[in-house]
Copies of this chain bind each other. A is one copy, B any other.
Amino acid sequence: MKNIVIGQSGGPTAAINATLAGVLLKSLEYDEINKIYGMKNGIEGFLSENFVDFSNLIAEGLDINKLITTPAASLGSCRYKLPKDENSEEYKNIFKICEKYNISYFFYIGGNDSMDTIHKLSNLASQMNSDIKFIGIPKTIDNDLPETDHTPGYGSAAKYVATSVLETVYDASVYDRPSVTIIEIMGRHSGWLTAASALAKSKNNQSAPQLIYLPEVAFCKKKFINDIKKLSENTKNIIVAVSEGVRDENNMFLCEDDSCTVDAFGHKQLSGCGKYLENLVKSELGFKARSIELSTLQRSAGHLLSKTDIDESVKIGQKALEYALDGHTGKMVVFKRKSTVPYDIHIVIEDIAKIANIERKLPPNFINEEKNGVTQDFIDYVTPLVSGELYPSYDNGLPVYIYF
């Protein structure tokens, strides 16, 4: 009889619990699996032996379907990075705890940093001749992991972003007056999520968002003002989608110079780039402008899920368990796209060394020539990822979510 441990790490997404649910569902099919432990707050909880016993919860009637549509991280998360020195006490502790709890399979759902954890632990296991299998399962709204077509959680966040931008477009155009609306979207280093705002454009033959600025392109304030000015000649309501991570030609965030906002208490503030651009439009062009920050709402919107994303997130969890039981270790499960029309995805594994600590940017063929929008290639890529709807259970008007 073998035991499993599973943890969640990094920023919340709407799909991370679907993947946890996938591992749980699959584990029920194997008689040789005894206990399934969940780490509270990722590796931090593991190190303090703070575990949830899923075997008990399942026996007591845990509703796994409700877990599937629960956003954020039901087990809690962490942003803990293990020490660089592989001789440090913490690594020894991890293996000691594994031994104590008779752990044979160790799953970590997360982004770049979490894959680094799996990489280090699987290397150590190999050096120590340990039999424990370490498997990484991707998860990030940023969609910035290499070797996979996309990451679980991206599709639902992209659907939320595109829908919120679509609704903002119509909200902004109800009055018969010119306006500029700047929507700031998550993505410190890559523009995948901001790019998804372009999906709103194909709806109802409307043309907004007209401008999309991505961190892959150096942001030029002068060009931005010119873009707005030119558009305003024949467009009443201008909608701009901008990534929080855009930087200027000197690789500085937009409000990183000494003209930064000073708050009511006299402290310098790094205002969001949306607010910065709103002020720039008002100041340089005198236009009516407004900015909206989608904020953390975009990563935890369990009420607006992509069915494709959630179904795939369950499946990748199931596959992760299968691969581990087949004896694989030091791997991450990945999506490989066989075809876009019809959409066809396969789940395989890749060596974690090719993934850990590497960020995947939007490729040049997804960015338009003007560098202020995306191409049809990107739209073709992203459309299946946001497609299909899946709704949580509701009780008295509000979603029902499960946390441990």
Contacts and interface: CB of A to CB of B under 8 A. Distances in A.
A234 interface: no
A117 interface: no
Contact of A401 (B41, B159, B166): B166
Given A170-B71, A175-B41, A389 B386 contact: no
Interface stretch (A142-150, A294-302, A363-371): A294-302
Given A276-B264, A295-B292, A398 B203 contact: yes
Q: How large is the interface on A (under 10, 10 to 19, 20 to 34, 35 or more residues)?
A: 35 or more
A73 to B, nearest CB: 5
B304 A303 contact: yes
Contacts of A81: none
Interface in A301-330: 301-304, 306
27 contacts: A12-B174, A41-B175, A45-B176, A71-B170, A72-B167, A76-B174, A76-B176, A77-B174, A78-B175, A78-B176, A162-B397, A168-B297, A170-B403, A171-B299, A172-B296, A203-B398, A203-B399, A203-B400, A204-B400, A259-B265, A262-B262, A264-B271, A292-B297, A293-B293, A386-B398, A387-B396, A391-B391
Interface of A: 12, 40-41, 44-45, 71-73, 76-79, 159, 162-164, 166-168, 170-176, 199-200, 202-204, 255, 259-265, 267, 269, 271, 276, 279-280, 283, 290, 292-297, 299-304, 306, 383, 385-389, 391, 394-403
